[in-house]
Structure 1
Amino acid sequence: MPAPPRITVEVPVLRVGDGPADYEGLGSFVQALRRPQGLHLTLLHVGILADFAQDIEDWTKGNTAAGSAIQATVHWLQALPELEGFAGSSDRLIVLGGGSIAGLEVAVPQHVMDYQVSLVQGLHELLDGLLVDNVDDFILSSPALGFRYPHWVPHVAVGQPPSHARGPWSISPLAVECGPSRIRNGQFLPTGD
């Protein structure tokens, strides 16, 4: 049985550098370079929806049922405004995910930073409406959300770092072209009221 899909708000990466050779060149820095077709930049990670809803029910000691949390979260996600495509750049590879992921650290335009901040503010409002107290503590401790740091670092995961390497590594500057925002695995969100 396949694992339930993780829900994120993200932008697809349409192109890294001037062509395939620029992206393939990153293979000299990382192991198991990911295929360029699936690259994305995550704006907000929600995680497995049922787990997120259960985290809310547990945190509120049952005052908000998981089913209500799922319904409210789906409505919130589907009402999010779309972020238009944009161009960023990267000149550095960093290590993420406790050392298991190598990613391009991406410099993004200010309006993208503002959009990501608005997503976090919206998440705060959603959780407040679901009777979650100490929202910041909840966000940093919810296993489903998986927030390790309160500060967002725009990045594109590209592979695995070399064994026991900590980075960061400077690279030749690369343009990173991104498409409009979307809900990853949005087709798996429940429908109906």
Structure 2
Amino acid sequence: MANRRRGGWDSTTQVTPPITVEVPVLGIGAGPSDYEELARYVFALRRPRGLHMTLLHLGALDDFCRDVAGWTKGNTSAESALLKTVAWLEALPVLDGFSGSADKLIVLGSGGVCGLEIDVPASVRDFQVSLVHALHELLDGLLVDNIDDFILSSPALGFRTPRWVPHVAVGRPLRRGPGPWEIGRVGVEFGESRIRNRQFLRESDPG
């Protein structure tokens, strides 16, 4: 377990991609040129069609379920964790689409990616907090003790900090340094929340 990369998906070693709750980006600014302006700061700007904001990262389900089984010393099996987690995911509420805005680019993770830091309505932050509370309830039902420690330790979850920073990853920064980089404020439109890679929920194999 110690050799698994935190929060990452290596298609050569993982059977299933990570599961996240996210909202898709429907538009940035008044038109395509507003997004293309970010090429002044970003190398290999990502395609607009795939842009999204992650609300909760669960990781690959087989990895997550093995993490639970290991943490509980087998009191919850990986198979039982899978069944309960899939049912939990499919019962999550849906967040309606909303509008946000951004006026800066921030460095993400180890610095290889930067993203738009998004100002979101309070209702979106409340929804994200409710997802974290729901995750706590799931883990409690899976007999995980010291839940906060588990969340920050699980390689599948990949959490590095309990603080959620709303952002949309857009590409690799052109400039070196910690950022942030100020840009002209742009509006960002988001669609309703969805489970990324939902088609893999029933295909995961924790064995």
User: Structure 1-normalised TM-score?
Assistant: 0.96
1:63 aligns with 75
2:201 aligns with 189
CA displacement 1:46-93 (0-9 Å, x = unmatched): 010100000000100111101111111111110011100000000010
User: Structure 2-normalised TM-score?
Assistant: 0.90
What CA distance in whole angstroms lies between the structure 2 residues aligned with 1:106 and 1:46? Answer: 21
1:158 aligns with 170
Cα deviation, residue 165, structure 1: 2.6
Correspondences of 1:39-188 after superposition (within 5 Å): 39-162=51-174, 164-188=176-200
1:32 aligns with 44
Cα deviation, residue 163, structure 1: 5.4
Cα RMSD for the two superposed structures: 1.1
Q: Which amino acid aligns with 1:84?
A: D
CA displacement 1:109-128 (0-9 Å, x = unmatched): 00100000000000000000
Secondary structure of 1:27's counterpart equals helix
Q: Does 1:10 align with 2:22?
A: yes
Secondary structure of 2:119's counterpart equals coil
What CA distance in whole angstroms lies between the structure 2 residues aligned with 1:183 and 1:44? Answer: 10
Secondary structure of 2:124's counterpart equals helix
Q: Which amino acid aligns with 2:90?
A: Q
Q: Which amino acid aligns with 2:24?
A: P
The farther-off stretch of 63-72 and 156-165 is 156-165
2:6 aligns with none
2:3 aligns with none
What CA distance in whole angstroms lies between the structure 1 residues aligned with 2:113 and 2:70? Answer: 30
Q: Which amino acid aligns with 1:32?
A: A
Q: Which amino acid aligns with 1:172?
A: G
For structure 2, the residue ranges without an aligned partner over 5 or more in a row are 1-10
Cα deviation, residue 17, structure 1: 0.7
For structure 1, the residue ranges without an aligned partner over 5 or more in a row are none
What CA distance in whole angstroms lies between the structure 2 residues aligned with 1:84 and 1:134? Answer: 33
Cα deviation, residue 32, structure 1: 1.2
What CA distance in whole angstroms lies between the structure 2 residues aligned with 1:87 and 1:58? Answer: 41
Cα deviation, residue 164, structure 1: 3.2
Cα deviation, residue 162, structure 1: 2.4
Secondary structure of 2:202's counterpart equals coil
Secondary structure of 2:45's counterpart equals coil
